[in-house]
Amino acid sequence: MYLCLMHIDIITVLPDLMQSPLSHSIMKRAQEKGLLTVQVHNLRQWPVNEYGQVDDYQYGGGAGMVLMCEPLVNAIEQLQKERAYDEIIYLTPDGKTLNQRIANSLSLKGHLLLICGHYKGIDQRIRDHYITLEISIGDYVLSGGELAAAVLTDAIGRLLPGVLNDETSALTDSFQDNLLAPPVYSRPADFRGWRVPPILLSGDPKKIEEWRHEEAIKRTEERRPDLLKE
Ligand code: ADE
């Protein structure tokens, strides 16, 4: 049995939406190995009335509902009694854009609480008084924070030591050294006359490593020159 390295709590109004993305492949393995635990909490466990209400219209008018203060405060404060969080993260399109550096740094923490907004988002006072980090997964608007929370959990979870084996090592991922990953090939060496670069068949690890590095630079220059300036 491994030592649990990371516990992530997620507060959402759509708990079912969170289940599938975290129940397969590497995320499944991380949890089976006990390296990562993820607990999804339905915000409707903390409603303001017997109708299960957790959202309301926004002051000042305008379309769209807002997740209210009280259910979120009750949820956060109950969870805080069980754990001290390193970060309480709100997933929102106006947050800091997620990148590998942020994922690497969050993977070193122990306890994270992720809050998923829905509809128009959450009451600003929660952001002012509880949230320690706001993260966006890109410049586009999703229907809610759930898929963003799943993306963040995956990006962090796969970095925990012991989750990936040599074959899937994160060290050769795109972005780990601000370079995109080089092209990869598998059998057969010749498919319809489309041949694998001969150097990959040479059996010379040093030359192969050099080729991969050159290809990574070439690809990054072509597709993401901004990464080379960081
Ligand atoms: N919620 C809605 N859109 C989002 C985005 N792009 N990133 C994070 N959370 C979001």
Span 157-193, pLDDT tens digits: 999 999 998 656 777 787 878 999 999 999 999 999 9
According to the model, what pLDDT value does residue 61 have?
Answer: 95
According to the model, what pLDDT value does residue 177 have?
Answer: 85
CB contact set of 36 (below 8 Å; sequence gap of 6+): 4, 5, 6, 7, 8, 27, 30, 157, 160, 163
Average pLDDT, the chain: 95
Q: Identify which of 10, 90, 115, 142 to mutate to test ligand 1's pocket (most ligand atoms within 8 A of the CB).
A: 142
Examine the pLDDT at 216 and tell me if it is beyond 60: yes
- Tell me if 152 CB under 6 Å of ligand 1: no
Backbone φ and ψ of 42, nearest 5°:
-80, 120
Provide, rounded to the nearest whole percent, the portion of the chain with pLDDT above 90.
90
Q: What angle do the packed helices 25-32 and 146-157 form, to 10 degrees?
A: 60
Prediction pTM value: 0.94
According to the model, what pLDDT value does residue 167 have?
Answer: 59
Span 65-122, pLDDT tens digits: 999 999 999 999 999 999 999 999 999 999 999 999 999 999 999 999 999 998 789 9
According to the model, what pLDDT value does residue 118 have?
Answer: 86
- Tell me if 91 CB under 6 Å of ligand 1: yes
- Tell me if 150 CB under 6 Å of ligand 1: no
According to the model, what pLDDT value does residue 2 have?
Answer: 65
**Mean pLDDT, rounded, for 129-139:** 98
Examine the pLDDT at 219 and tell me if it is beyond 80: yes
Do the beta carbons of residue 62 and residue 118 sit within 8 Å?
A: no
Nearest CA to ligand 1 atom 7: 136
**Mean pLDDT, rounded, for 30-34:** 93
Examine the pLDDT at 1 and tell me if it is beyond 60: no
**DSSP per-residue codes, the chain:** -PPP-EEEEEEES-HHHHHGGGSSHHHHHHHHTTSEEEEEEEGGGS-SSTT---EEEPTT--SSEEE-HHHHHHHHHHHHHH---SEEEEEEEEEEEP-HHHHHHHTT-SEEEEEE-BTT-B-HHHHHHT-SEEEESSSS--SBSHHHHHHHHHHHHTTSTTTS-GGG-GGGSTTTTSSPPPP---S-SEETTEEPPGGGGS--HHHHHHHHHHHHHHHHHHH-HHHHT-
Examine the pLDDT at 215 and tell me if it is beyond 60: yes
- By CB atoms closer than 10 A (0-12, 13-18, 19+), residue 214 is exposed
For 201, other C-beta atoms within 10 Å of its C-beta total 12
Nearest CA to ligand 1 atom 10: 92
Q: Any idea which of 60-69, 126-135, 167-176, 204-213 has the lowest mean pLDDT? A: 167-176
